Amino acid sequence: MAWHTGDRVYDTILAIGFLFVGITSIAAWFVDSPYGRFSNTKLGLRINPRLGWFLMEIPSPIVFVLVFLQGRNRGELVPLVFLCVWLIHYGNRAIFFPLSIRAPKGHRQSFGIGLVLIGWLATSLHGYLHSAYISDLGAQYTDAWLTDPRFLIGISIYYVFFALNLQTEHITRNLRSKAEVEAGEKVYRIPRGGLFRYVTNAPYFTELMAWLGFAIATWSLAGVFILTLSAANLVPRAFATHRWYRERFEDYPKDRKILIPFVL
């Protein structure tokens, strides 16, 4: 894994990306990401969470495709495989996930426009760094890469945990009935089943593991960037969420770990 590509523009943007990771890794321990149960009004205008998640995630696939189409290797097999992986991932993250959120009509309390604006920096960097490397700068992506152990192991990890992430989101989405949502009731329940048997933050664990797999499959610093940025944001939030559940529910399972089954 090369620590620089020789492309001055790309390497500069990559450095900016890791600077952003460093800032996030510090700030996230002091300020909870303001959405969901930790929502607040400090980041400005409130919008519907469905719209908020869509707006925050959509730059990543848009930037990826626009940059991909300019890459010298855009027609090669391996870059096209990664393009398909990307579009499937963000078909879920930017479209299906927002549409599946259970929120009453007119609900604006759990998502701030300021969070969207901050998110645009992360998702745009994410899309550019991966696409430019995959479609143009990654010299290793010959057809033989599809049989390389790094690709095979990485993509296997990615899809196992992508599937588990879908399962955990299904569990959390169904903690409240549609009737409760439409009535505007704020009902919180303990998630059970799946990886929730072992950790409080099963969605965060599966997301981090999926990005670990993708980083291995691409064998790129772009993959390291999104993995470390996700960890910088999600690890502090995982601790806060675990603490929130323990304070709210007296019967919360005492043997559940915070983020990593049997470890943390």
DSSP 220: S
pLDDT digits (tens, 9 = 90+) for 171-224: 988 887 776 666 666 778 899 999 999 999 999 999 999 999 999 999 999 999
Quick check: 233 and 121 in contact, CB under 8 A?
A: no
Say whether pLDDT at 26 is over 60: yes
Predicted local distance difference test score (pLDDT) of residue 37: 60
pLDDT digits (tens, 9 = 90+) for 82-102: 999 999 999 999 999 888 887
Return left, alpha or beta for 249; rule: phi > 0 is left, psi -120 to 50 is alpha, else beta. beta
Say whether pLDDT at 258 is over 90: yes
**What are the structure tokens assigned to 117, written together?**
């604006």
| Cα–Cα distance, 48 to 116 (Å, whole number) | 12
Alpha helix (H) residue ranges in the chain: 8-27, 49-57, 59-68, 77-91, 97-100, 113-132, 149-173, 178-182, 202-218, 221-248
- Better-predicted residue by pLDDT, 157 or 187: 157
Closest CA to 28 of 223, 240, 226: 240
pLDDT digits (tens, 9 = 90+) for 30-59: 776 655 565 555 555 677 788 888 999 999
Mean pLDDT of 98-109: 69
Predicted local distance difference test score (pLDDT) of residue 90: 95
Ramachandran angles phi, psi of 175, nearest 5°: -70, -25
> Quick one: CA dihedral 64, 67, 69, 75, positive or negative?
negative
**Which letter, b or e, does each residue of 222-258 get, where b requires 16 or more Cβ atoms within 10 Å of its Cβ?**
bbbbbbbbbbbbbbbbbbbbbebbeeeeeeeeeebbb
Ramachandran angles phi, psi of 91, nearest 5°: -65, -35
**What are the structure tokens assigned to 19, written together?**
């600077």
Among 22-36, 125-139, 203-217, the range scoring the smallest mean pLDDT is 22-36
Mean pLDDT of 124-128: 95
Q: What is the mean pLDDT of the chain?
A: 88
Predicted local distance difference test score (pLDDT) of residue 179: 67
Q: Which residue reads 């930017």 in tokens?
A: 94
Amino acid (1-letter code) at residue 111: F
Confidence of residue 78 (pLDDT cuts 50, 70, 90): very high
